[in-house]
Homo-oligomer: A and B are copies of this chain.
């Protein structure tokens, strides 16, 4: 398989699909809409997971695990939620296979093993979790409950793309229960900021923090907060959501508590999640025509060392120096891979690690050993320099911070240059087609207008910024009065 990628400018979508596969991140499986996450891709996901998990625990959450199956009657209890997910539900109806009498060696579904009640493979776990919370919550003393779950979920999507939209995906889902509305709202906001800070500080990906309109809200929520990132093709990507559920699920599952005054009240809830979709966002936010560009904080390997030699004498010399450097870098807390595979030539390795987005590459040959230097190449800027071997540990450790920052600032500049204020619908359409990105415009607040704009331009309201400033204006579409701008974009 050629390691060469389609150029972003030629076909962005094709570039993405090729990159995911060629950089060994993921591939389509033999199962419709389901992906295989390959070791290198999974290692990046594990880094995301570990950091998010640390932050969830730091903010007082505990992990737990709830069943993958939701009985139909439980699934349909919260009607809006059920309606929202009914059309993409994978349904277990039988629990046994038997030998097919007509086809020796083949199996068939045993018609005698039909379930009395069908089971839905969870598309999200509010139903199963709130039916459990009913058993756990009696008194204000049992509150708050702040639980997170790392799990797989299934949504039967018709058109799938690796990481961005798959029938099965991995995610975390937080589900919390509170005695007061204010506390639940504070939790919803807190977790949105955890996501936003993670995206910016670890993924090096700037995000807008906002609120969804009524029509884009999570099915069963009172309010959905979101973070929205911008990809290099000018399309937005929703990277995480945090929902204030009000008392909707408590009501549907009859979850009440006795308050300090001895009165029964319905419990307040939140839920929030990010998924392997973040992998898609990470890839599209930073990578280039040569392959993946990874921020050091999420790179499974920080530095690859490639020894270069022509004969056994040179090999001994170079490998000795390379091993010493490996040891020094490890001591400095840097994740390093010394690639001494003799089946591959240095040129092949250069291309391979470039494709895989390893932030730094050290090449070392006999002359470098003599001169006590190494050749250091940065993946993000594709620049090279000769660096003394002495003090390399701290030099590289600092440089990784610089790279993290550079990648973020580059993405931030691009994002900021792609927030355009428009006041006129024709201008809106023109900016959308020519420049793309986020468009800040006045909207009359009606679903009708939102829907018409979507139909005509494919742009949706991504969010209303959390710290939005009030500004009198008129809707660019209907001309009706508006009190604030909202953020439009075409989106993944």
Contacts and interface: CB of A to CB of B under 8 A. Distances in A.
Nearest to A37: B65
A99 B83 CA distance: 9
A147 interface: yes
Contacts of A82: 97, 107
A93 interface: yes
Contact of A91 (B34, B109, B151): B109
- State the majority secondary structure of interface residues on A: mixed
A81 to B, nearest CB: 12
A316 interface: no
A97 B86 contact: yes
Given A68-B154, A131-B30, A168-B68, A91 B88 contact: no
Contacts of A128: 29-31
Interface stretch (A114-122, A201-209, A401-409): A114-122
Given A67-B36, A68-B34, A69-B31, A95 B89 contact: yes
Contacts of A105: 76, 79
Given A107-B72, A147-B39, A156 B65 contact: no
Interface in A1-58: 27, 29-31, 34-39, 42-43, 46
A87 B62 CA distance: 36
B62 A42 contact: yes
Given A63-B46, A106-B76, A156 B96 contact: yes
A64 B42 contact: yes
A147 B36 CA distance: 12
Given A65-B170, A82-B107, A31 B94 contact: no
- Copies of this chain held together in the complex: 2
A314 to B, nearest CB: 24
Nearest to A134: B30
A106 B86 CA distance: 11
Given A39-B147, A91-B94, A119 B64 contact: no
A488 interface: no
A66 interface: yes
A480 interface: no
Most buried by B among A31, A79, A88, A128: A31
A98 B39 CA distance: 38
Contact of A168 (B43, B64, B69): B69
A70 interface: yes
Contacts of A180: none
Interface string A119-137: 1110000001001100100
A95 B156 contact: yes
A88 B92 contact: no
Considering the complex of A and B, which 8 residue pairs feature the smallest CB-CB distances, nearest first? A34-B67, A39-B62, A86-B97, A37-B65, A95-B156, A91-B94, A31-B67, A93-B93
Given A86-B96, A87-B97, A89-B96, 7 more contacts: A30-B71, A30-B132, A75-B97, A90-B92, A91-B93, A91-B94, A141-B343
Interface of A: 27, 29-31, 34-39, 42-43, 46, 62-72, 74-76, 79, 82, 86-99, 105-107, 109, 118-121, 128, 131-132, 135, 141, 147, 151-152, 154, 156, 168, 170, 343
25 contacts: A29-B67, A30-B74, A30-B128, A31-B119, A34-B68, A36-B67, A37-B65, A39-B62, A39-B147, A42-B64, A43-B63, A76-B105, A76-B107, A86-B98, A86-B107, A87-B96, A87-B97, A89-B96, A90-B92, A91-B94, A92-B92, A93-B93, A93-B94, A96-B156, A121-B121
